[in-house]
Structures are given as structure tokens and as C-alpha cells.
Amino acid sequence: MAHPFATLTPDLVLDAVESIGFVTDARILALNSYENRVYQVGIDEQQPLIAKFYRPDRWTNEAILEEHSFTAELADVEIPVVAPMVHNGQTLFEHAGFRFTLFPRRGGRAPEPGNLDQLYRLGQLLGRIHAVGATRPFEHREALGVNNFGHASLNYLLDNNVIPRSLLPAYESVAKDLLKRVEDVYAATPHQNIRMHGDCHPGNMMTRDEIFHIVDLDDCRMGPAVQDVWMMLAGDRQDCLSQLSELMDGYNEFHDFDPRELALIEPLRALRLLHYSAWLARRWDDPAFPHSFSWFGTERYWGDQVLALREQLSALNEEPLKLF
């Protein structure tokens, strides 16, 4: 059977935007997105809009609207975030079986890796986001945890014969050892789950005219604050310590960070490794994935994953990063 996105043609995208009252100029540009489909759509005598079409059956309407509500909370206290447009009192629309949302177009570039001045300001921004996120929980969006990101990911890979037979014993063995270590560290580390971005890599934090803004809260969920911190760090241990210091100096101006959560950085990195492989496997029926990730499923990919998981197991046995 054809994948649902196969019916999302340019004409359907234009029809969807026009169905709620906009007049398009028939110009459409597909933007880089895999989980959903995102397009820049030209609007007659106005600035183009960004139309995001949600992957069918991934989130419930309630979960999507909770993301929109969280984004609106951030915007209401003047946190620079690209929030869904409100049109006729709504932010979520439906056309021809697809749910979609419109955003204003915002340009920018990703932060420079290791730029300490930028990291200080990014820390301020994260602190402001988490100060809002900590005020109440999500009700319809899941929390990041060892079971859903770790065990469920490994089980999917094992149950669906994704891993080459020649590498299956090695991958399964190291993944199970890794998850046992992750569970131990999680159990020993005090932490509080708050509403957070969830996928806070530099590509989702854009700067323009020296102002940073947050984009794409599609993966927002409950989780420890450090999940939004560790993906800002790059380089060796000393580099990461310097970067972490700048991030926390900015962060703590707006929200108190519990330094005990730093022990979760390597467990969270381990969960991301497992979840990423399972994400690719779960999405393989989407034609965009074999086209863009042709290396997935090769022995080389899985051999590299075995090495990556072994290295991550070693990292979990090292002393966690600390603030001084």
C-alpha cells in the first residue's frame, strides 16, 4: 500500500492552505523535514507562510494542541519562539485527511559550535523556556524515559529483523548491557521531569540579527531539563566543561538547574542512539527514508552502531561532567 504522504501532492498542499481562506500564488517549496512534511507556500501580495503537515497517526489532536499551547505560553512571556498562527481562533486544521498548521516564515542560521558568547545567550533562552515548562506538566504528551526510548526501541529492532544476522548477537548483547547501565544511573540520579523542547539540537535554535529563536517543538515532552542542555555541547571533555559553564551561567539567571542531572547526559545520549535507529526502522515504509538514508540497513551502518554503543557503555563508566 502507498504511504499516506504519497497523496500529499503540491496541489493538495495549496488547496489545504486555501481551504481556510488564504489566496496562494501557486508557489511552493518543500523544506527539509522527515517526520512531517513542511512547505513554504507563497501567499498573494503577502509574505509566504510555512505549512506543516503532521505525520498521520503519530500524535493525537490533543497532543498537537498541547504543543501549540506550550508554544503560546512561551510567546506570551516574550520568549522568542516561532508559534503557530492563530486563524479564525484555531491553530490546527484538517484537509483531505491531513492535519496541518501554519507558521510565519522566520529565517536564520544555526549557532556556531563552541561559540561561548552564543552559548551564554542560549543558556538564558533555555532557562526562560524551562521556567515556563516547570510550572505544570503535559497531560497528553509522553515523557522521555528508558522504557519508551530504550527498551521499546531495541525490541522493535529485534522483533522486525532489522539488524543483519551477522551482527545481531553483538548488537543485542551490547545494547542490553547499555540499557542495564542506563537504568542503574537513572535510578541513582535525582531528577525532575518538566515540559521541555525534547530535540534541542543547534538546528532548532536559530539566530538572526543577533537574536536567537526556538523552532520546531514537535518533539516537546516531559523529561529532565538536562535533555535540552547536552546537545548544545561539542568536542572533548575540556571543551564541554567550558561550554557547559557558559550555558549554566546564562541558564541560572532564569531557572535553577539541578547539577545532579549532569549524570544523565551519557544515559540520554545512549537512549538517543537506540531511538534513532528504531526511528529509521519504523519509518522505512515512507519513501523519503530509503531515498535519504540509503546507508541504513547496511552491515557497515550496524557495525558502526555496535562500536558506538560500546563506546557509549565506556562513557557511562566515566566521571560525569561537573560544574565548578
Q: Which residues are annotated as a binding site for Mg(2+)?
A: 204, 216
For residue 18, which phi and psi values (nearest 5 degrees)?
A: -75, -20
What ranges in 77-151 are assigned the alpha helix state H?
116-133, 146
Residue in 106, 97, 90, 87 with CA at minimum distance from that of residue 7: 97
Binding residues: 204, 216
Catalytic residue, from 199, 218, 228, 286: name it: 199
Long-range contacts, stretch 7-13, CB < 8 angstroms, 24+ apart: 7/96, 7/97, 8/37, 8/53, 8/98, 12/95, 12/96, 12/98, 13/39, 13/41, 13/51, 13/53
Q: Does the active-site annotation cover 199?
A: yes
Angle (nearest 5°) at CA 234 between 257 and 229: 20
| From 216, 218, 228, 286, the catalytic residue | 216
239 belongs to the catalytic site: no
Residue 92 identity: L
HSE-up of 67 (CA within 13 Å, CB side)? 24
What are the residue numbers of the active site? Answer: 199, 216
